[in-house]
């Protein structure tokens, strides 16, 4: 094999390996410990009432919705060691679509792009930089909608997000009950549920 062709093949192989590696999570999404558990608890804490308790607290809602984006993506990609139940996967996908519609976020955008924009919005709001927050949200908003930051302050009810948050917690408690969070395989558990290797850690608020 010619050296140039060999170098090309090796380069393609390296690119493929890098593409398969999990991308690092955006900073500020979760605290220390396992990201899936941290995001799951944070999501339930923020959206168990459909986000009503976060009305007027756009920085906290931005974090909750960034976690929803992460969990919906993790469910779709079967991250965490074992597939999540299909009903939970569907619930998270529907909740994400509901949240994007409420905020006027373009549906076709990649989850990581939306996560980063929501977290940038949160950081700007925490710093008192309202123009920066508006710019971060405008980057992912559909053209011609109401100011996205106003929607983030009062998105209306998010009942599908509340349902997904509760369903996720129910699956997590089932996983804990059969001790799968200790690292056992779900295949050895008496009931299939959410992946467990990914559900241990601390939350941040």
Residue 106's Cβ-side half-sphere holds a number of Cα atoms within 13 Å equal to 14
Q: Are 165 and 48 in contact (CB under 8 A)?
A: yes
Q: In the prediction, which pLDDT does 131 show? A: 94
- Helices (H), strands (E): how many in the chain? 8, 0
pLDDT at res. 36: 79
**pLDDT < 50: residue spans in the chain:** 3-22, 81, 181-205
Would you mind telling me the total number of residues written for the chain in this entry? 205
Residue-level pLDDT at 64 = 94
177-193 pLDDT per residue, tens: 765 544 433 333 333 33
């Amino acid at each position: 094999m010619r050296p140039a062709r060999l170098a090309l093949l090796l380069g393609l192989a390296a690119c493929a390996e890098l593409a398969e590696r999990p991308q690092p999570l955006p900073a500020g999404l979760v605290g220390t410990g396992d990201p899936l558990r941290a995001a799951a608890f944070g999501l339930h804490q923020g959206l168990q009432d459909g986000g009503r308790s976060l009305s007027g607290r756009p920085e906290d809602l931005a974090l909750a919705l960034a976690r929803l984006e992460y969990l919906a993506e993790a469910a779709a990609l079967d991250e965490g060691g074992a597939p999540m139940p299909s009903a939970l996967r569907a619930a998270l996908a529907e909740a994400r679509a509901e949240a994007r519609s409420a905020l006027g976020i373009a549906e076709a955008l990649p989850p990581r792009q939306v996560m980063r924009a929501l977290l940038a919005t949160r950081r700007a709001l925490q710093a008192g930089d309202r123009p920066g927050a508006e710019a971060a949200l405008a980057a992912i908003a559909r053209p011609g909608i109401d100011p996205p930051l106003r929607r983030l302050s009062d998105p209306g009810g998010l009942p599908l997000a509340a349902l997904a948050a509760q369903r996720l917690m129910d699956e997590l408690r089932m996983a804990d009950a059969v001790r799968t969070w200790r690292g056992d395989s779900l295949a050895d558990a008496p009931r299939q549920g959410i992946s467990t290797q990914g559900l241990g850690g601390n939350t941040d608020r």
